[in-house]
Amino acid sequence: MLIYDLSHTISTEMPVYPGTEQPQIIDACTYEKDSYSEKKITFYSHTGTHVDAPSHLLPGAKTLDQFASEQFLGEAVIIKLQHVTVREIAVEELKIYEQLLQKASFCLLATGWSRYWGKDEYFTAYPVLSPAAAEWLAQFSLKGVGVDAISVDPVGSSTFVIHKIFLQKNILIIENLTNLERLPQTCLFTCLPLKIKDADGSPVRAAGIVL
């Protein structure tokens, strides 16, 4: 069995969505003062590799804690898109995976953009699904769609069209994944969030498991 770590490390220097505050991690308790070590951690719910709940953008929609644990585990299809040079991913790039998607729980889009993590380029010109491509993916019985970029919509979007296409169907969105290009075409995928009451999102320790 091989386990691939698909999450970025949370740190005070990590990239965050423009306008979001950096995480704060402080030594609240120390061996010298308290005889044990404990950190106080403060961060936004969509920090690092994280999952979006429908309630992130849709008032009254489901929060993460309202999903059963199995919603965050299942067979994934990895769509390799490192060759794509255009800004929008078209339906034609996805259709060859149709048979696999019919039996899948997750679709992970491996664009290779995680190579820019920590650089200014990470926030600009990353490929996103066209609305038509998102609608096409949303027709499958998916639990979630994951990307190795900061968002499924362009940074600066005010309409969040791609987010809403998936979230209105209770399809979770996993953002800021990494190492997707190392995965085979299919694998077991897990992205369990913290169990936070009324959570609109949560960091996850995502993993790809090849049996």
The pLDDT value recorded for residue 85 is: 81
In a domain, 39, yes or no: no
Per the structure, the count of domains in the chain is 1
- Which of 133, 77, 72, 128 is CA-nearest to residue 102? 77
In a domain, 35, yes or no: no
In a domain, 16, yes or no: no
70 — phi, psi (to 5°)?
Answer: -65, -15
In a domain, 23, yes or no: no
- Domain assignment of residue 66, given as a range: 2-11+44-210
Pair 143, 69: CB distance under 8 Å: no
Residue type, 15: P
Residue 55 tokens read as: 């309630």
In a domain, 38, yes or no: no
Per-residue pLDDT of the chain (211 residues; tens, 9 = 90+): 999 999 999 999 999 999 999 999 999 999 999 999 999 999 999 999 999 999 999 999 999 999 999 999 999 999 999 988 889 999 999 999 999 999 999 999 999 999 999 999 999 999 999 999 999 999 999 999 999 999 999 999 999 999 999 999 999 999 999 999 999 999 999 999 999 999 999 999 999 999 9
CATH of the domain at 80: 3.50.30.50
In a domain, 27, yes or no: no
- Which of 168, 172, 167 is CA-nearest to residue 147? 172
In a domain, 37, yes or no: no
| Neighbouring residues of 88: CB distance < 8 A, sequence distance ≥ 6 | 127, 128, 129, 130, 133
The pLDDT value recorded for residue 76 is: 98
In a domain, 20, yes or no: no
